[in-house]
A and B are shown apart, each in its own frame.
Chain A
Amino acid sequence: MGGFAAYLKSWVTGIVSLLTGLKVSIVNFFRPKVTESYPENRKTLVMPEHFKGVLTMPHNENNEHKCTACGICQMNCPNGTIKITSQTIETEDGKKKKILDTYLYNLGQCTFCNLCVLTCPSNAIVFSKDYETAIFTRSKLIMKLNNEGSRLEEKKKSASGEA
């Protein structure tokens, strides 16, 4: 193709590609906007499924949690966010047993990597969907996750392993 024909062709292709671009942006101009108007839509705001807010330890209605104080989550946490203190007690049948004393979680250090939740063998901890976690005092970021006076949820005696 000669020089001049190529030049004319560049006019056409240029204009077509520019118009394509303009079309794309004007379509977006009239699309519904994606911005969330946050404080106003607080009631309807739904966090995505994998959103990680605050680490929590769910307790059942008898104030029992599932944490065996094994310390795996603490070891796996890359940031030293979790601090578990345990105590050893003696059960009625004379066995020594380690139970959870305090489970401290420091929200200020957590990177929400989810490793603790993934590695916990008893599924004792989960992330909540809380998103309004900003506070003015740093010390309040350190939270105790196990409730006062809570106990380890006993496994059902009739579980298949025991029989």
Chain B
Amino acid sequence: MFDFKVLTQWIDQSLRALNLPDFGVLVIELVLVGIALLAAYAILAIILIWFERKICAWFQCRLGPNRVGIFGLLQTFADTIKILLKELIPINNNDKILFYLAPFIVILSSMLSFGALPFGKGLQAIDFNIGIFYMMAVSSLGVLGVLLAGWSSNNKFSMIGAMRSGAQMVSYELSVGLSLLTMVIFAGSMQLSQIVNQQADLWFIFKGHVPALIAFLVYLIAGHAETSRGPFDLPEAESELTAGYHTEYSGIQFGFYYLAEYLNMFIIAAIATTVFLGGWQPLHIPGLDGFNHVMDYIPTPVWFLGKAFFCIFLSLWVRWTFPRLRIDQLLHLEWKYLLPLNLLNILFMALIVIFKWHF
């Protein structure tokens, strides 16, 4: 397995060899990391939009974009250029500052969680010892941007959309938190790098028996609801609310919401990958050394992205299958079904850990 620490340390040493002051080296490295993350952010968003459009088309027995570039690969680039050139329509009688601030908050929250994701062996910008906690905290900051957008647009559709989004976030955050907590109990750590390292021999979803599987499913459902997509897209229910909280946004401001929506989907999938599917760890089966060795040759970022895209596929599958829930059905699902299941699951997992029933 190639350790990307070799690369990062080489960059660090060559910078220090230039006799820069420590502070200068730090600033340059920060800028480099920032650029790399932003580039990854933009490229992932573009790939994700293409991926979603293709998958959605296949579910509907269509071909999907196939005109711009082979398999329509350049379609999203063309769309991005188009959206960048579009006019920003100013709105009268709204709260100007909050209105312009809101898209940035949404982007910021997904960008923040991006920084802490372990993309590969040694490819992680910051490794907090409270990694999971941090991820949950910053990824739910996004709802603030949604609420601000709804409030500052001075439009009843936006307002209702934002309020629904708030209710949805508050309830599903609970399930997300509890299902991740189940795995934290199992791993005994919140640090993402440690969680990944513990899965070197076998991924948690196989190690953790039934509770891990249940936690994985609950996390996928709740995480999917948090991104306000698919059957849970009440905040932007087109048929009722025009476009919900981003009704009044145009051009790239709308583009920001669009981008953040896809990136949030990726982040949810990435956390699921890290916590349940072994992050960047290759598939290892205890006892099959030859097989394990072959698997090690696939680069770790490929494993990570592959697993994340698998989770995204699951979420798209759900999205293009089920009709939108009503708000009461949405809250029923969370408070009457997922939450009790989750609490039982945590108890079960705690018992397993105490009595050492796991592998």
Q: Which of B61, B66, B322, B337 contacts A28 (CB 8 A)?
A: B61
Q: Is A35 within 8 A of B59, CB to CB?
A: no
- Mask for B329-359, Cβ within 8 A of A = 1, else 0? 0000000110000000000000000000000
Q: Is B317 within 8 A of A26, CB to CB?
A: yes
Q: Does A136 touch B at the CB level, under 8 Å?
A: no
Q: Is B317 within 8 A of A33, CB to CB?
A: no
Q: Is A35 within 8 A of B58, CB to CB?
A: no
Contacts of A33 in B (CB 8 A): 57-58, 61-63
Q: What separation, in Å, do the CA atoms of A11 and B320 have in the docked complex?
A: 22
Q: What separation, in Å, do the CA atoms of A35 and B59 have in the docked complex?
A: 13
Q: Does B184 touch A at the CB level, under 8 Å?
A: no
- Mask for B249-283, Cβ within 8 A of A = 1, else 0? 00000000000000000000000000000000000
Contacts of B318 in A (CB 8 A): 22
* Residues in A4-40 with C-beta less than 8 Å from chain B: 7, 11, 14, 18, 21-22, 24-26, 28-29, 31-35, 37
Closest to A32 in B: B61
Q: Is A22 within 8 A of B317, CB to CB?
A: yes
Contacts of A32 in B (CB 8 A): 61
Contacts of A35 in B (CB 8 A): 61-63
Contacts of A22 in B (CB 8 A): 317-318, 321
Q: What separation, in Å, do the CA atoms of A14 and B55 have in the docked complex?
A: 25
Contacts of A31 in B (CB 8 A): 61
Q: Is A37 within 8 A of B321, CB to CB?
A: no
Q: Is A21 within 8 A of B322, CB to CB?
A: yes
Contacts of B322 in A (CB 8 A): 18, 21
Q: Is B337 within 8 A of A25, CB to CB?
A: no
Q: What separation, in Å, do the CA atoms of A11 and B340 have in the docked complex?
A: 12
Q: Is B61 within 8 A of A25, CB to CB?
A: no
Q: Does B8 touch A at the CB level, under 8 Å?
A: no
A-B contact pairs, 22 of them (CB 8 A): A11-B337, A14-B337, A21-B322, A22-B317, A25-B59, A25-B317, A25-B320, A25-B321, A28-B59, A28-B61, A29-B58, A29-B59, A29-B317, A31-B61, A32-B61, A33-B57, A33-B61, A34-B62, A35-B61, A35-B62, A35-B63, A37-B63
What 14 additional pairs, Cβ within 8 angstroms, besides A22-B318, A34-B61? A7-B336, A11-B337, A18-B322, A21-B322, A25-B317, A28-B59, A29-B55, A29-B58, A31-B61, A33-B57, A33-B62, A35-B61, A35-B63, A37-B63
